[in-house]
């Protein structure tokens, strides 16, 4: 799932706690070119307000119409759309796509509080819902787990937000941070240099004046974390790399030319890093799109981070760049 679904759960909880009747709708299966993947969530309020999405819009309209005409399920139930080509076209499912949904009345918000609290601690959890009773159990999950529905139980994964740690508070860092915020990353900028940390003003981000290596240890980087070092100061950039490369962070990159990247790797070899850990370093950072300005360089960096997050092979790299092997696409985001 993505963090949009956490927002949907938070909205469902708030509506429920305010006294509204609320239904959750989950995509459980798709065929063809259905717009949203299994596990995608929508919540529906008793007056027809919705949050989230399960399609391109027409399915949402039909769900609202069903509600307003008195179809208010008391137990979890299945709904299918796009069984015929005509119906697929009517509901905005391209190329004859089909989807099946589970609609369930929200009976308690306690399990939502549990999921939101645990994902805020960067835990990966699973919600197990019984189709027969609507009972929900929240339990730990592993990165190898995936959304599942066997006709009796629905198991949906909820992971923490993707997190980006930026080392350095210069102009490039601002552009990277702004783009990452738009992509719904949790963004933390770290720069202990006084001349930089007094001017950081990017909305929606957190700033730290700690030493980068100390902050990496404090954050306990996980597989939902990325690190970019862009200070141009080897003392700071190398500090964070020494710790980040030993972490399970999914992406670790540092700004610099191919020559500077080679020198950086030589310096890292002097410390307690294995060759495999050093080989995780992305450098020169970013995709080769002919970037010149800070904003264009930020586009190339953020695009590379997204590609690695999604398990896409990095084809558009400058010749001679160090390119770690692609990581498998994750089922929980």
Task: Check whether 53 has a pLDDT greater than 90.
Answer: no
Which two three-digit tokens encode residue 239? 């500090």
Distance CA 87, CA 66 (A): 16
Task: Check whether 317 has a pLDDT greater than 80.
Answer: no
Distance CA 192, CA 189 (A): 10
pLDDT for residue 178: 96
- 């979890």: which residue's tokens? 76
Distance CA 119, CA 224 (A): 11
Q: Where are the domains of the chain?
A: 3-158, 163-309
Averaged pLDDT, 38-66: 86
Averaged pLDDT, 150-155: 93
For 196, counting Cβ atoms within 10 Å of its Cβ (0-12 exposed, 13-18 middle, 19+ buried), the class is middle
Distance CA 236, CA 157 (A): 36
3-state helix, strand, coil in the chain (%, to 5): 35, 25, 45
| Percent of the chain whose pLDDT exceeds 70 | 88
Question: Which band of pLDDT confidence, cut at 50, 70 and 90, is reported for residue 95?
Answer: very low
Query: How much is the mean pLDDT over the chain?
Result: 86
Residues 6+ apart with CB under 8 A from 36: 27, 30, 53, 54, 55, 99
- Alpha carbon distances (Å) from 313 to 64, 90, 197, 258, 324: 41, 36, 35, 20, 10
Distance CA 38, CA 28 (A): 5
Distance CA 237, CA 330 (A): 28
Task: Check whether 180 has a pLDDT greater than 50.
Answer: yes
| Percent of the chain whose pLDDT exceeds 90 | 52
Which two three-digit tokens encode residue 105? 């009345």
Task: Check whether 289 has a pLDDT greater than 50.
Answer: yes
Which two three-digit tokens encode residue 117? 């609290």
Distance CA 113, CA 106 (A): 13
Could you tell me the pTM of the whole model?
0.73
pLDDT tens for 160-174 read 888 999 999 999 999
Task: Check whether 153 has a pLDDT greater than 60.
Answer: yes
Distance CA 274, CA 245 (A): 9
Question: Which band of pLDDT confidence, cut at 50, 70 and 90, is reported for residue 83?
Answer: low
Task: Check whether 333 has a pLDDT greater than 50.
Answer: no
CATH number among 3.40.50.300, 1.10.3210.10, 3.40.50.800, 3.40.50.720, domain 163-309: 3.40.50.720
Task: Check whether 331 has a pLDDT greater than 50.
Answer: no
pLDDT tens for 213-252 read 999 999 989 888 999 999 888 888 888 999 999 999 999 9
More confident of the two residues 9 and 310: 9
Which two three-digit tokens encode residue 252? 């670790």
Distance CA 296, CA 13 (A): 40
């Amino acid at each position: 799932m993505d963090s949009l679904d956490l927002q949907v759960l938070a909205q469902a909880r708030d509506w429920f706690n305010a006294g509204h009747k609320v239904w959750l709708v989950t995509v459980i299966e798709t065929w063809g070119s259905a717009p949203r993947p299994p596990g995608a969530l929508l919540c529906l309020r008793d007056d027809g307000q919705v949050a989230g999405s399960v399609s391109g819009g027409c399915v949402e309209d039909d769900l609202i119409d069903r509600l307003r005409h008195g179809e208010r399920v008391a137990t979890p139930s299945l709904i299918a759309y796009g069984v015929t080509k005509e119906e697929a076209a009517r509901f905005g499912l391209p190329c004859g796509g089909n989807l099946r949904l589970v609609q369930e009345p929200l009976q308690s918000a306690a399990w939502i509080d549990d999921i939101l609290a645990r994902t805020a601690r960067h835990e990966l959890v699973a919600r197990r819902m019984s189709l027969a009773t609507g009972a929900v159990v929240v339990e730990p999950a592993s990165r190898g787990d995936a959304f599942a529905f066997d006709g009796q139980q629905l198991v949906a994964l909820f992971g923490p937000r993707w997190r980006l740690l930026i080392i350095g508070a210069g102009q490039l860092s601002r552009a990277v941070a702004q783009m990452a915020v738009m992509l719904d990353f949790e963004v933390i900028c770290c720069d202990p240099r006084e001349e930089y940390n007094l001017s950081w003003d990017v909305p929606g981000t957190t700033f730290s004046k700690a030493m980068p290596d100390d902050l990496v240890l404090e954050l306990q980087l996980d597989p939902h974390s990325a690190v970019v070092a862009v200070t141009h100061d080897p003392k700071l950039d190398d500090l964070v790399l020494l710790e980040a490369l030993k972490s399970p962070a999914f992406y670790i990159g540092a700004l610099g030319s191919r020559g500077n990247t080679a020198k950086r790797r030589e310096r890292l070899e002097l410390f307690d890093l294995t060759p495999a850990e050093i080989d995780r370093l992305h450098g020169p950072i970013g995709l080769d799109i002919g970037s010149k300005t800070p904003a264009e360089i930020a586009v190339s960096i953020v695009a590379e981070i997204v590609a690695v997050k999604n398990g896409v092979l990095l084809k558009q790299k400058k010749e001679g760049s160090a390119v770690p092997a692609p990581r498998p696409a994750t089922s929980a985001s």
